[in-house]
């Protein structure tokens, strides 16, 4: 029967989501923004309910069929999206409709938003919003796969239902849990590297970490209304370009490259070659159009703006530095 598995999944997801409130709560405490009480109560409530469900269902026996895996994947996304609305409703007094839209957009890394005035918004909520995309980026499901064996729930059906690419046909590591951990290791390393380079490029520590979460997840949320255009920095834009591309490449390929200390896997991979080739061609075309149409007076700025927007669009990240809707 699938119902006990759904109970176990809900408990795990409540615990995961409560963990995302730790840094926002600490940020609220440091900033004295008035959101601390709400965030702490929500954190404790979710953690308590999650632990109760986890303790109730952790000893269940059985394995998921493939079709059950698809149901559980859909259920996972629905639960996380629903949980994601709570801080938005309670802290920003958003309507349920807008909160659901913002949460689903974040968790699915779509990047559309109904929020304005981001520059004046509490940093605690801004960071939480970035976390939604990061959590959804490599997948709540992959994290759940790493946890579900503790509940004696088979996870391969979840991986088949959720993950595209070579992981479907062969495991990167002998055990499924190790595979999930390997993918998360790559995700964390990319996020850390992205945050470091953003910080070196001139971002504040908060902005660097916040934007690394939405860059590596290719979600595109920002802490500023002007997106990355707020910084008007070539170094920031170059960092974003590099990590948007890296985040668009199959994570199993990153893991194999790191494990074998060889970049040759990138050059021999058809998907990577095709991605870089398409990006290069489109950047060239857009640059020439911007220059010829007089949007820029020299080819340098045309190349800069084209490179950033093309990569942002092709990787489906959605960052912006210019109002490209006014382009030819």
Give the pLDDT confidence of 167-204 residue by residue, as tens digits.
444 455 546 667 777 788 889 999 999 999 999 999 99
Do 69 and 23 share a structural domain? Answer: yes
Q: How far apart are CA 141 and CA 144, in angstroms?
A: 5
Three-point CA angle 200, 234, 112, nearest 5°: 95
Do 248 and 99 share a structural domain? Answer: no
Residue 157 lies in a domain: yes
Q: Are 125 and 91 in contact (CB under 8 A)?
A: yes
* Per-residue confidence (pLDDT) for residue 265, from 0 to 100: 86
Domain of residue 276: give its range.
Answer: 176-328
Do 299 and 199 share a structural domain? Answer: yes
- 130, 163, 196: which is the final residue of a domain? 163
Q: How far apart are CA 207 and CA 226, in angstroms?
A: 13
Do 129 and 25 share a structural domain? Answer: yes
Do 37 and 158 share a structural domain? Answer: yes
Do 233 and 110 share a structural domain? Answer: no
Burial of residue 174, with CB atoms counted within 10 A of its CB: 0-12 exposed, 13-18 middle, 19 or more buried: exposed
Element (H, E) at 95: none
- 112, 135, 163: which is the final residue of a domain? 163
pTM greater than 0.95 (yes/no): no
Residue 230 structure tokens: 């707020």
Would you say residue 144 has pLDDT above 90?
A: no
Do 214 and 272 share a structural domain? Answer: yes
Question: What residues have CB less than 8 Å from 12, skipping those under 6 apart?
Answer: 50, 54, 144, 147, 148, 151
- Residue 170 DSSP class: S
- Provide the domain count of the chain: 2
Lowest-confidence region among 65-79, 99-113, 228-242, 287-301 = 65-79
Do 111 and 34 share a structural domain? Answer: yes
Average pLDDT estimate for 17-30: 96
Do 192 and 133 share a structural domain? Answer: no
Q: Are 84 and 76 in contact (CB under 8 A)?
A: no
Question: Which residue would you say has higher pLDDT here, 296 or 199?
Answer: 199
- Look at residue 201 and give its three-state secondary structure: coil
- 163, 194, 213: which is the final residue of a domain? 163
Phi, psi angle pair for 142, to nearest 5°: -65, -40
Do 42 and 101 share a structural domain? Answer: yes
Alpha helices, H only, 139-175 = 140-147, 156-162
Would you say residue 142 has pLDDT above 50?
A: yes
Q: Are 14 and 83 in contact (CB under 8 A)?
A: yes
Residue 169 lies in a domain: no
Helices (H) and strands (E) in the chain, counts: 15, 0
Residue 81 lies in a domain: yes
pLDDT category of residue 250 using cuts at 50, 70 and 90:
confident
Residue 192 lies in a domain: yes
Do 79 and 223 share a structural domain? Answer: no
Residue 171 lies in a domain: no
Do 181 and 158 share a structural domain? Answer: no
* Per-residue confidence (pLDDT) for residue 157, from 0 to 100: 47
The rounded mean pLDDT for the chain is: 86
Element (H, E) at 239: helix 234-248
Average pLDDT estimate for 10-17: 87
């Amino acid at each position: 029967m699938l119902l006990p598995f759904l109970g176990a999944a809900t408990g795990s997801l409540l615990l995961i989501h409560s963990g995302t409130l730790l840094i926002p709560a600490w940020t609220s405490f440091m900033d004295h923004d008035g959101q601390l009480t709400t965030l702490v109560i929500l954190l404790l409530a979710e953690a308590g309910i999650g632990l109760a469900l986890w303790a109730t269902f952790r000893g269940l026996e059985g394995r998921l069929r493939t079709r059950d895996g698809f149901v559980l994947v859909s259920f996972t996304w629905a639960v996380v999206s629903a949980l994601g609305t709570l801080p938005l409703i309670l802290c920003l007094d958003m309507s349920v409709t807008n909160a659901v839209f913002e949460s689903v957009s974040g968790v699915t890394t779509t990047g559309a938003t109904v929020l304005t005035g981001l520059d004046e918004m509490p940093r605690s909520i801004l960071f939480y919003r970035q976390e939604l995309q990061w959590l959804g980026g490599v997948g709540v499901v992959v994290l759940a796969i790493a946890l579900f064996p503790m509940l004696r729930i088979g996870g391969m059906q979840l991986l088949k239902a959720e993950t595209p690419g070579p992981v479907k046909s062969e495991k990167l590591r002998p055990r499924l849990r190790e595979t999930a951990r390997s993918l998360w290791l790559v995700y964390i390393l990319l996020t850390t590297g992205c945050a470091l380079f953003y910080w070196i490029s001139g971002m504040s520590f908060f902005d660097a970490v916040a934007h690394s979460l939405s860059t590596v997840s290719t979600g595109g949320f920002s802490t500023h209304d002007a997106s990355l255009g707020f910084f008007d920095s070539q170094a920031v834009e170059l960092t974003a370009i590099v990590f948007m591309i890296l985040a668009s490449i199959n994570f199993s390929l990153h893991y194999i490259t790191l494990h074998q200390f060889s970049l040759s896997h990138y050059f021999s991979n058809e998907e990577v070659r095709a991605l870089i080739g398409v990006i290069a061609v489109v950047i060239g075309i857009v640059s020439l159009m911007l220059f010829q149409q007089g949007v820029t007076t020299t080819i340098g700025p045309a190349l800069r703006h084209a490179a950033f927007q093309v990569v942002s669009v092709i990787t489906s990240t959605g960052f912006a530095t210019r109002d490209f809707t006014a382009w030819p």
